[in-house]
Amino acid sequence: MASATLFCGHEVSGEQLELIRHLVGEHRGLSRLELANTVCELLGWARPNGSLKGRECRQFLERLEGKGVLELPGKRARRPVGSRTRVPITARGERGPELFGSVRDVAPVRLERVVAQEQRLLFRELVGRYHYLGHAVPYGAQLRYLVWVEQPQRAVVGCVQLSSPAWRMAARDRFIGWDDRTRARNLQRIVCNSRFLLLPWVRVRNLASAVLSAVAREMVADWRAVYGVEPYLLETLVDGARFAGTCYRAAGWIALGTTSGRGRADREHRLEGEAPKLIFILPLRPDAVRRLCEG
């Protein structure tokens, strides 16, 4: 029951649970997301910019249902968080001409934040077709970027996705040196680079590290504008069986070790050691660790 009564790292009181049970029982006609948003409004579960934590709350309610605490209405047809999305196949996503040389040959390199529907469709197609993990709905907060170069002609060469961090990673947490209470309070100051793709026909030397450096420069203001929070640290997980993380090292990221291999969704510790990943972090300011440990 203990894990079921934690919401984003904070203990949910018995009084709050009783309120949630009453609300769910009295409003059977609402969808799960509508119930989650209503709970968030009543309990003040919102991000610093005022937006409700509806997606996280829906998953919390489903955990409560799994523990027998309450009974939710049946699921409506929707795409669950973490699911593979339908990937459009269009001419824009077809393989382009081979691109060689160095960063100087294709400069300037620009990041374009994905906000319009046309950008979202292109991002989903490129990641879905060319990233080995495919395109999935990210957990929690998120920002996405298309990567453009201007020479020899303007073209999209990659995609970057930023999203909510892992709740707990031993190597990262040791590096920061915080306790559970401080982590629960300041975890929103960490952002995960959950997808990074350079298209397979793009073989430009040092482009990957240049893109990562540009992301570190630009995402702070974007994340603060969208979510009302200044991030202090970036993190990412690299499949060591496929990649060495060379571009992250070249961009100044720090290798911390490996994960336990369980993944975000394995709350019962059934997959220990199944798929360990390399952990890299990048402090976004010199005093990042001190600020993450502050009360």
Q: What is the pLDDT of residue 4?
A: 53
| Structural domain includes residue 266 | yes
Instruction: Quote the pTM value.
Output: 0.73
- Within 131-206, where are the H helices? 170-176, 180-186
Same domain, 261 and 146: yes
The length of the chain in residues reads 295
The two three-digit tokens of residue 201, written as one number: 């026909």
Verify that 205 and 258 share a domain, yes or no: yes
- Specify the long-range contacts of residues 206-209, CB closer than 8 Å, at least 24 apart: 206/102, 206/103, 206/250, 207/103, 207/106, 207/109, 207/149, 207/157, 207/158, 208/247, 208/250, 208/251, 209/247, 209/248, 209/250, 209/251
Asked if residue 246 belongs to a domain, the reply is yes
Q: Which pLDDT score, from 0 to 100, does residue 114 have?
A: 96
Residues 47 and 100 placed together within one structural domain of the fold: no
Q: Which range marks the domain in which residue 280 is found?
A: 93-292
Residues 191, 132, single domain; the answer is yes
CATH of the domain at 225: 3.40.630.30
What confidence score (pLDDT) does residue 87 get? 79
Determine the pLDDT at residue 272: 43
**62 & 97 share domain:** no
**Residue for token pair 């590290």:** 209
Quote the number of domains for the chain.
2
| In-domain check, residue 176 | yes
The packing angle between helices 14-26 and 54-66, to 10°, is 90
* Contact indicator for 190, 232 with CB cutoff of 8 Å: yes
Q: What is the DSSP string of 238-281?
A: E-TTT---HHHHHTT-EEEEE--S--TT-TT--STTSS--EEEE
Same domain, 53 and 172: no
- In the chain (295 residues long), the average pLDDT of successive 10-residue segments reads 68 90 82 88 83 88 91 71 68 94 96 95 96 84 95 97 91 95 89 97 97 98 90 96 95 94 48 73 97 89
Amino acid at 208: A
**What φ, ψ does residue 4 adopt, rounded to 5°?**
-75, -25
Domain identity same for 131 and 231: yes
pLDDT at 27: 79
Is 21 contained in some domain?
yes
Does residue 219 sit in the same domain as residue 262?
Answer: yes
